[in-house]
Amino acid sequence: MMADHIISALRHELSCLPRLIAGLHRRRFRLYLALRFLWLRVAIPERPRSRPYLITPESVHIYGRRDLVMYMSLFLIDEYDSDVWQAQLAEAYNPLILDVGANLGMFSALCLSFNPSCRPRCFELIPEAEAVILKRLQTAGCHDEIVTIGAVGQEHGCVTEIRYDAPFASTNRVGQTQGTHSANIPCVAIDQWWKEHYGEIEPNIFLAKIDVEGAEIDVIRGGTKVVTSAQIILIECHESRNALDLLTETHEIIRDEIYAENYWICILRKRKAGVST
């Protein structure tokens, strides 16, 4: 069994290598920096440190394995299919980005690499991530960001307990019944959050990205008005969901609330397959 696992892992690594090298070239890595990145991919420790191991051409700071894995997935292998929407984002004026399930802020950093005037609004469960996200966005030159720690869904104002593994592990389980760490965090419904921050101003989101490990529909039901103001909606399909079912259910919820004349809903990558859809 162990041998089969190792062989499977090696096959996956080899299958990713051409896209990884193409990504390093596309992101204008000089030879030394590219070689260092490839070395760190094997050797970088799990635990992050205060000083970056590597600074990418976009000024993204890599502090540990989780940073490196996320950078590789989003910037190099392009698991969020940014070639489909980056041109529109690059041309937008001060676009508001809704980053639900921000993790360590790498998706917002990706958006800033396409358009430095982006204004990220990040939502994340794990309290320790707040300082990391703020540091990452400010290092990328962003000075108009909001980071909210909370469980995004249909409820607002109450408190719930979450459990999770080590905050910055490259793989991290999050839920109510698993993990070695715990925290009490507020429940956040995005429509109510908008009213608290912006009052009666009509929402005007350029891009909404939702990556919440299976709770996508709850996020949309609690933020129908705000989410549907977006021109582009990116939703990661958790491995427990069928991508077509998720797309259909999302459309049924928001079809009567859409404000944009042209909008996209993209259902992204099923994790078991490791591919985008």
141 vs 59: CA distance, rounded Å: 9
Do 172 and 258 sit in the same domain of this protein?
yes
Do 94 and 39 sit in the same domain of this protein?
no
Contact (CB, 8 A) for 110 and 207: no
**276 domain residue, yes or no:** no
Taking only the tens place, the pLDDT of each residue in 57-97 is 999 999 999 999 999 999 998 888 888 899 999 999 999 99
Domain with residue 96: its CATH number is: 3.40.50.150
Do 166 and 228 sit in the same domain of this protein?
yes
Residue 171 neighbours by CB under 8 Å, 6+ apart: 165
**275 domain residue, yes or no:** no
248 vs 250: CA distance, rounded Å: 5
pLDDT greater than 80 at residue 5: no
Q: Where is the domain boundary, 75, 94, 119?
A: 75
Do 94 and 18 sit in the same domain of this protein?
no
Residue 178 neighbours by CB under 8 Å, 6+ apart: 163
Do 151 and 238 sit in the same domain of this protein?
yes
Structural domain for 32, as ranges = 2-75
Stated pTM of the model: 0.87
Do 64 and 97 sit in the same domain of this protein?
no
Residue 232, both tokens: 């582009």
Taking only the tens place, the pLDDT of each residue in 192-232 is 999 999 999 999 999 999 998 878 889 999 999 999 888 89
Query: Which whole-number Å values give the CA distances from 234 to 69, 210, 264, in the listed order?
Result: 20, 6, 8
56 vs 70: CA distance, rounded Å: 13
